[in-house]
Chain A
Amino acid sequence: DAKTTQPTSMDCAEGRAANLPCNHSTISGNEYVYWYRQIHSQGPQYIIHGLKNNETNEMASLIITEDRKSSTLILPHATLRDTAVYYCIVRARRGTYKYIFGTGTRLKVLA
């Protein structure tokens, strides 16, 4: 599975868009990009995933560069409840159990 690189921490003002970057320069053609977040001491929560097209759901948008070597998770209107650690993971859709979480980005939303 490809390795990902994320900034250790970021701040964002409440109501503004939070843009969380992730580098995955060794991603393979069959690997998807998944994003999870972990609020305080809860279990991680699935947010979104994508292969090569931009994706949007009720929680966030995912922008993947054309060469697929990096992506950005966008929380369009961050709230205090979005304060969490965000994990970017790349892996194949099927045939592997591995989820390598790394240490993620600690996002702090400021009032």
Chain B
Amino acid sequence: DAGITQSPRHKVTETGTPVTLRCHQTENHRYMYWYRQDPGHGLRLIHYSYGVKDTDKGEVSDGYSVSRSKTEDFLLTLESATSSQTSVYFCAISDDSGGNSYNEQFFGPGTRLTVL
């Protein structure tokens, strides 16, 4: 399995509180992604990173920010959590280096966030 960890794995917080989720990889992959998964919506991309300090928005980025100061870490911050951000958050990585890589994504175990 690809070396991807997420922390925390579970979190309960209150509306208006800032929350930071961490994704850590040991694969030295260039791309990192944050998704959220909600019933009936499948996986939706929040933000992604294509290198250190290089990030861009996905399809549901409002209310979220990200940072990537090192290759191995990608942080997702909810600046002021709302109940609509209650979800399961998945981090993923991929390698776009060509060769034997076909840019398949490898996923972390997920973080279950509840905003009360």
Contact = CB atoms under 8 A, between A and B. Distances in A.
Interface in A74-111: 87, 91, 93-95, 97-99, 101-104
Interface of B: 31, 33, 40-45, 48, 50, 56, 88, 90, 92, 96, 98, 102-110, 112
A102 B83 CA distance: 23
Interface of A: 32, 34, 36, 41-46, 49, 87, 91, 93-95, 97-99, 101-104
A41 B56 CA distance: 27
Given A44-B90, A93-B102, A101 B42 contact: yes
B44 to A, nearest CB: 8
A100 B96 CA distance: 17
A102 B109 contact: no
A104 B88 CA distance: 17
A43 B109 contact: yes
Contact of B45 (A32, A49, A87, A99): A99
